[in-house]
Structures are given as C-alpha cells and as structure tokens.
Amino acid sequence: MLKNYIKIAWRNLMKNKQQTIINLLGLTLGTVSCLVILLYVFEQLGYDQHHNEAASIYRVETIIDRDGQESFDSATSSPPIAFALKDDFAEVEEATRVVLTDAFYSPLIRAVNSEDAYYEPRVYLADSTFFKVFNFKILEGDEKTALDEPNTVMLSSYMSDKLFGNTSSLDKTVVWGSGESALILTVKGVYDEKAYKTHFNPSYIVSMSTPGMGTFVQNFQSFATNNFAYSYVKLNSNGSSLGLQRKLPQFMEDRGGQDLKDAGMSSKTLELTKVTDIHLYSNGRKNQLDVVSNSTYLYFLLSLAFFIQLVACINFINLSTARASKRAREIGIRKVVGAGKNTLMRQFLGESLLLSIFAMLISIPIVILSLPFVNGITQETLTYTSLYQWQIVVILLAIGVVTGLASGVYPAIVLSSIKPVSALKSSAILRSGSGTFRKALVVFQFVISICLITTVIIMAQQFKYTQSKDLGYKKDNLLALRIGPKNRQLSLNL
C-alpha cells in the first residue's frame, strides 16, 4: 500500500510539473532560511558547558554608583575581591582572576632565536589556579602546574605554530616585550583554542606572578577602584549562589567600606553570573572578555525562522487548494471505485510529505554553499560539519515531517471532501476550499511577507548608514603603528 501511495504521488507531482516546481521552490527557500538561522542560533548555545562542574563556576561582576551621577556596570571587579571571597566564605572552593592586557599594553612576542615579532590581541594574565577552575584541551604540558611559577606562558595552538612552526613548543623560550622591559618566558604548555565554545579567547596566557602588571595585580589592595580584573569563583557542593549573593553587600561593607569612601563612591554592588550564562545573558554589561550574544536577539531569529517556514506552508496550501479542480475527476473516479475519505487524505498527505522531503534534501547543499556568505554577515565560522550535530539532524527531519503535514493537512481535507457526483458533472466543487479560511490564509501570508520585507529593508538601511557614517577622518591609506625602542629593530608581522 505504501509503495502504491508513493508511486501515485510521484506520478501526480511529475504530471503537474509547474505547480510542483513552484511548491518545491517555496518549501526549499523556507527550509534553507530556517536551517541557516538554526545553525547560527545553535552556534550561540552551549558556551562554557565543557568545564568540570560548570554549574558551580561564577564570575563576580560590578555595579558602581557615584552619588547618582555615574553608573558603572562591568563584567570586571577589583583585583583583591576574588581571593578575599575564598578566604571569607567556606562555600567558595577556588578562585582565579584574568587580566586582559589589551586595555593597558600589548607587548611584542617572539621566539628567542627569531627576529620576527608579533603584536597579538587577547593576551591574558592569569593566576596559577586558572586551569584548576577552567578546562581547556591541552596539547602539550601539564596545565595543573603550568602557571605556578613566574615568567611562564601557555600558548594557543595558533600562537605555537606562529612562533615555532610544526615543532614542539614545550620548554622553549620566548621574548615578551621589547627593550629594557623585555622578559624571557618559558613555554609550559599548548592548548587548543578551538576545541570548545567558551567566552575565553586568549592568544596566550602569562602567569600572574610574572613581574610587571602581574605583580601590580597581586599587590593591589583596594576593594573599590581599578575594576579591571575578571574574577571567578568556584563553589563547592554545599555552596549556593543565591546564599553567597545575599552575603556580598555585607562583604563589601566589611572589606571595602573605607575604600569606597576614599574613592567617593556611594555604593558598589557585586553580582554573580554563572559562567554558562555569560555568552547569552550578559549583553549590555561593559568590558566583556569577548563578543557576547543576546538571548532576545536569538529568540527573535527563531521567531523569524518559524514565520518564514509558516509562509512557505501557507503558500503550499493556497496553491494546492486553488488547483483542486485539476484533480476533481481523479478524486471522483477513485471514490466511485471504493476509495474512502481517509484513504484519499493519506494519499494527499503523502504527496505533501514527499515534496517536503525533496525540499529538505535540496536545501542541504544550498545551505552548505551559502555558508561563506552567512559567515561574512555574522562573523561566525560555520562549516558543513555544523550540520552533523544530532540536534540539527533531528530538527531538520522534524522540519521536513512537520512542514509536510502542516502544509498538506488542509488540502487533503478539502480534496478528499469533494463529492464524486459534483466532480464527474464538472459542477462547482471548490465551495468548501474557497471560503473564509483560505482568504484568511492569503491575508495572513501577505501581512507576514510585508512585515519581513519591511524588517529587511530597515536593517539594510541601518547597516548602510553605519558603513557610510562620517567618522571624522579619512580612513583610506591610514595606518596605526606601535613604535618600539630604537635599540632593537624588529620585523613586524601585522
């Protein structure tokens, strides 16, 4: 029976090629748009889930008011806060800090035996406890002791290849900085920066005990000012983030009350943000380590994907019911020879499912070919392997089945309800399919289409405005160079 349904469905699709092509094109475009949006949304999910006990790791963030005149809402906090929390509260199992050196200076780095030096963004100073709190995929070295000593560094695989090529970097030395301030650092390990999705994105990580900025951070004592450190705490199994959050106001009063008065701050509030929520739910907070997403924006994109697919389904419904007269005689004859309403409904649903599956299969190579264009817009690195995620596979199959059923159920009801006498006499047969419901679908389809087109036009105009906005200077042929000391000539690779 199933084989017969598929055979008849295929014959009908091939017989009405024009309608089939239009329906297939509409469903394919809808599926492609929906799938691209889903790939992007899934790329934004699952950040920092790989850390051991990730649900127990929190970032300590800061909100400051200066007598109501200034508000400071930052992902950072004062350097001494993290380890003071560990000292004062038994539920804090471990603490660590990260300092992004980009905000202060960007030293050159080069292999000791090379004259090729590089300015690299996203250089971290981190405490020795960093790899005890967070997990990275380590390619070389022992992360447990990598940052214990001063003048040590962990390189990303990208940085290791840049400095030492395909050879091992372990225990080799690099020059960090230039001139009299240059330091010799020993490479204690290499990590894979692309292994996991995380809000950390360091080119390399230098031990906090290294002289210079690291020493300043370790010796700084004020709980009020210099909120530039990214502070993290890991709670033990008995710890509660809500319980610790309630204790933070008194903690600040006891530890930093006098510091706040000396700095002229009316209040300083500490907030805990779960590390797994940073990428999605900290948008709007300043001084992020890396670009964060926006959960509201992702919900909007998911809604957009839903409406695009819905419009494709409505288009299929309208075309199928509008051309029902072409199949009236076929339906009449099949009913005369004994085909029941349920049998006809299954046949028409089978046709819509077959068409939906074709659209799904065609959409996959189109999506793969469009990924470079999508990456250019979103600044992401989506690849065809993203389609292999089991969640994407399940959702894609669900889209195919649900789209086929949703777009086919109404035409199946309308077509299977045609009376054989009316069909064979060629009398009016579409009264049931041309009523209020079909008109409402057409109106709804136009409303959604107009809204989508208007949204795209507005976004395109805004994007064009940002590109054409006068910056106050001519950026063509303008270079920004960092000048090193005269006593060392280095070839810079920018």
Domain spans, the chain: 2-44+293-468, 54-281
* Digit-coded pLDDT (tens) for 186-215: 999 999 998 999 999 999 999 999 998 899
Share of the chain above pLDDT 90, in %: 38
The helix or strand, by DSSP H or E, that contains position 174, with its residue range, turns out to be: strand 173-176
pLDDT, position 1: 53
Q: List for the chain the helix, strand, coil content (%; round to 5).
A: 50, 15, 30
Closest CA to 160 of 152, 170, 148, 151: 170
Q: Own/partner pairs for 387-395, CB < 8 Å, 24+ apart?
A: 387/39, 389/42, 391/42, 392/35, 392/38, 392/39, 392/42, 395/38
Please determine, for residue 490, whether its predicted confidence score (pLDDT) is greater than 50.
Answer: no
Which residue is listed with tokens 């074709």? 358
pTM of the model: 0.81
Question: What mean pLDDT do residues 51-65 have?
Answer: 92
Residue 399, token pair as written in the block: 């889209």
**Contact status, residue 41 vs residue 301, Cβ threshold 8 Å:** yes
| pLDDT classification of 4: cutoffs 50, 70, 90 | low
Position 393, amino acid: V
What's the Cα-to-Cα distance from 439 to each of 109, 206, 434, 444, rounded to whole Å? 68, 66, 7, 9
Helices (H), 197-274: 213-219, 241-263
